[in-house]
Structure 1
Amino acid sequence: MERILEFVNFIRIQCTGPMKTLEKHITLNLREANVNIRPAKTNGLWCHILIPVTLTLYCCFDNVSTLYKITTCISIGLLFHSILFILFLSTSSLFLKETVYSGCVASGFVSAMLMYVLLQRDLWFSLTVSIMSMWLYTKLLRVFLVKLDKTFTVGEAMVTAQTVVLFFIMSVIKFFFEMKTDDKELEFIGVIVYTILSTVGLIVTALYFLSDSHRTLDTLVYILVAAVIYAVNVLYYTLGAKGFIQIFSYVLLERDRYRLLMFWLVLVSLAVCALLVRTRLAVKASTVTRKTFHVLASMVFLSGIIYDVHLMNLAAGIGLGVIVLVEALRKSGIQPISEALESVFMVYSDEKDIGVLAMTPLYLYVGLAFPLLVVPARAGNEPELLSGVLAIGVGDTAASWFGSRFGFNKWQDSNRTMEGTTFNILSQIGTVYALQLFELLNSENALTRTIFAATVSGLVEAWTDQVDNLLLPLVTMIAFQFTWIVL
């Protein structure tokens, strides 16, 4: 066992060694530019490869839609953009003050050429979409790093900015260029989700631009009423006069979905009760206590993915809108709503939530939901859809609980224990085995694939100082994809 640990540590040192000099220069330049990133041992420079690699692998080995391929091409451009960003940031702090730089245009040409040559899209379409994506990515990176003090590391800012840009561009292309899929049910769900998220976006924008004198409950009511009117009109225009009846029938009447909804309602009620009780006691929640919400959220996604993945897609989109809206209200300064939400945040925030925004709850939700958006619809993809549940709902929670109680041997340069990592891996494997035992998961080679994916995500969880909720689902998805190549 000691020989294995020595070998693992040797590989780790060899892989991370060349990055240390780059990390040092970037840290110095960030300090010189008075940029306060989230305190961490490293800047997480490796994180920017995760989303492009995930999308590219699926694009190469699965039958995906044209929109998926376009999104993948843009993500490759963002990958080149991120590499140039890291290199320039390592040379000078003045780089952060530039509005646009040549790397932005060069990265745009990479995406444009991929779309033009490989996908045979119109040249002007390819150039417009690519340059707009790179420009937006540049803007977001600077806002995340410069304006939002102590909220992101460099790597976390890149992953978050990539996610926002790709989702936004995908939404714009989908609606303005009518790229529909053959799955009518997913089209129906997409209309509802995009309507909800665009409505939330308008509310957040309105709250951001409110003057201090207008930050009142009356103004909030006017904004919410206007948002509801907008959503109703969009749904009426896109779904027709019977659209609302369709939504009601789809959610409550088809396939006995009310049973699954009742189960979710019980879980949500338990979470709300726990929040209220803990807030009233004003006792700071421990790490293990916070993991309770990981379990409850994971049970929602696990049940949805196993029993009704389409309804889970709809619920995930609506839930994302709710979480973003709650955070916007917390920061809005509208009393007593902001004060009440802030009191809950102070009780349940962890050591990583020291920035302007509370990103940990959002990371948890996005980490659980992201596979639903990224993993193509095909037989045998259930383990990949469960990547977030396994990595952070099961593995990370198990590692935290077991490691805090029975862990004594820590990994080198880490506060994580070997015992916790071992239990992390075993808990993921045990979950998949239990699902197979009760015939809830019938994917081919699911257990073998999970052994590899769980080992990879468990080791990354033990060594990284970046936010687990954001990165581990992506790492797990990539690991699952590599098992398809081998098996």
Structure 2
Amino acid sequence: MAGFFITISHQSFQIGLFGLGLICLTSYYFKGILCRTIPFYIFIILSLFILIILPLHVVLQRSPILWIINLFTADRNTVYVFFYWILCCIVATLIVRNQIEDGNKASTIVRKTFHVLAVAVYLPGLLYCCNLLYLASGVVLGIFVGLELLRILKIEPLGPILQDGFHVYSDEKDVGSIALTPIYLLVGCSLPLWIHPDPCDVVDSAGFNLLPLTSGLLTIGIGDAAASAMGKKFGKHKWPGSQKTFEGTIACILSQLIMVFIFNRIGYAAFTPVQIGRIIFGIIFCSYVEAVTDQIDNLVLPFIMYIILI
């Protein structure tokens, strides 16, 4: 059943990404017209209906909107997780609003708060409604792209607010006019789920090993956040040619090892001695890469860890 769902979700992803690509391309070439509020919203509504909703209706052989509603109300656990996700969204919105009202540039530690929130969102989804998480991660990617269009084109009422958020949260990786950091975080956390063969069949099976699917959460949700927080507070000894500290790297390693131990103790991961060696090697190696790279580690680290753990 899960495998069938993933197949449908793959097709939905392809349709959604193709539609989003056309929307972004059209917005770029006709930004002179679409930078006005009413033409923009008319264009978005028509594009979503023609490029995404109608093709999904053909693929699903039913209304995609009703299909999504049925997924969100499939059982009690799904409903609980859905409302929990709404609560996490409210918390994230309040954090951004407070930072905007403060007017100061967000520190690295404040930005890493969203890494912790990502872990809080993804773990319950993996454990209790993997199918819904798989689909929701793609939907949220589309929402992020849509919000970027609103911000770049300065569309009322959200465009100016989003621009204020970009101003206080942007860092050195947000080169140019596009806010890439939140998209990188989303893709990094979702990447193992997207590329793993039948991930929800794995989660539903008895005695499954959760770790490969949490590669992004371990490396950037737990490890990177711990490295940043501890490095800023206690870091004194820097890696050669880097602003990262040895203390931060040690925190990165220990935090991931603790999380793996918790997974093992609560029964979501069981290891052979060989697997334990691979896990320790993967954590140490990814922590080293995090320390010495200035590149987009939100994408690189999850992929490296996934390759080692799979």
Note if contact 1:399-1:423 (Cα within 8 Å) is conserved in structure 2. yes
1:452 paired residue number? 281
2:20 paired residue number? 200
2:294 paired residue number? 465
Distance in structure 1 (CA, Å) of the matches to 2:49 and 2:216: 35
Matched, 1:226 2:46: yes
2:133 paired residue number? 312
Distance in structure 2 (CA, Å) of the matches to 1:287 and 1:403: 11
Deviations 1:167-194 (A, max 9, x none): xxxxxxxxxxxxxx99211123234333
- How far 1:421 sits from its partner (Å)? 0.4
Note the 1:3-18 alignment, pairs <5 A. none
2:245 paired residue number? 417
Matched, 1:334 2:168: no
Distance in structure 2 (CA, Å) of the matches to 1:286 and 1:443: 38
Note if contact 1:383-1:443 (Cα within 8 Å) is conserved in structure 2. no
Deviations 1:214-252 (A, max 9, x none): 421111121122023223322222222465443322221
Structure 2 residue aligned with 1:297, among 118, 123, 130? 118
1:23 paired residue number? none
Distance in structure 1 (CA, Å) of the matches to 2:291 and 2:81: 35
Aligned partner letter, 1:321: G
Cα RMSD over matched residues? 2.2
Q: Structure 1 stretches of 5 or more lacking a match? A: 1-180, 482-487
Structure 1 residue aligned with 2:210, among 360, 377, 382? 382
Distance 1:247 1:354, change over 3 A: closer
Distance in structure 2 (CA, Å) of the matches to 1:432 and 1:270: 26
Give secondary structure in 1 for the equivalent of 2:73.
helix
Note the 1:25-174 alignment, pairs <5 A. none
Give secondary structure in 1 for the equivalent of 2:40.
helix
Distance in structure 1 (CA, Å) of the matches to 2:305 and 2:167: 31
1:478 paired residue number? 307
TM-score scaled by length of structure 2: 0.89
Distance in structure 2 (CA, Å) of the matches to 1:289 and 1:256: 31
2:99 paired residue number? 278
Give secondary structure in 2 for the equivalent of 1:386.
helix
Distance in structure 2 (CA, Å) of the matches to 1:405 and 1:243: 48
Aligned partner letter, 2:271: E
Aligned partner letter, 1:187: T
Deviations 1:281-317 (A, max 9, x none): 2121000000001110122112222323222111111
Aligned partner letter, 1:413: G
Q: Structure 2 stretches of 5 or more lacking a match? A: none
Distance in structure 2 (CA, Å) of the matches to 1:198 and 1:367: 21
Distance in structure 2 (CA, Å) of the matches to 1:294 and 1:456: 20
Note the 1:355-394 alignment, pairs <5 A. 355-377=176-198, 378=202, 380-394=208-222
Distance 1:243 1:414, change over 3 A: closer
Aligned partner letter, 2:182: P
Note if contact 2:77-2:128 (Cα within 8 Å) is conserved in structure 1. no
Distance 1:272 1:207, change over 3 A: same
Distance 1:335 1:263, change over 3 A: closer
- How far 1:381 sits from its partner (Å)? 4.7
Percent pairwise identity = 34
1:407 paired residue number? 235
1:434 paired residue number? 262
2:173 paired residue number? 352
Distance 1:456 1:335, change over 3 A: same
Distance in structure 1 (CA, Å) of the matches to 2:177 and 2:165: 16
- How far 1:448 sits from its partner (Å)? 4.6
1:185 paired residue number? 5
Distance in structure 2 (CA, Å) of the matches to 1:204 and 1:264: 27
- How far 1:263 sits from its partner (Å)? 1.2
Highest Rg: 1 or 2?
1
The aligned length equals: 300
TM-score scaled by length of structure 1: 0.58
1:51 paired residue number? none
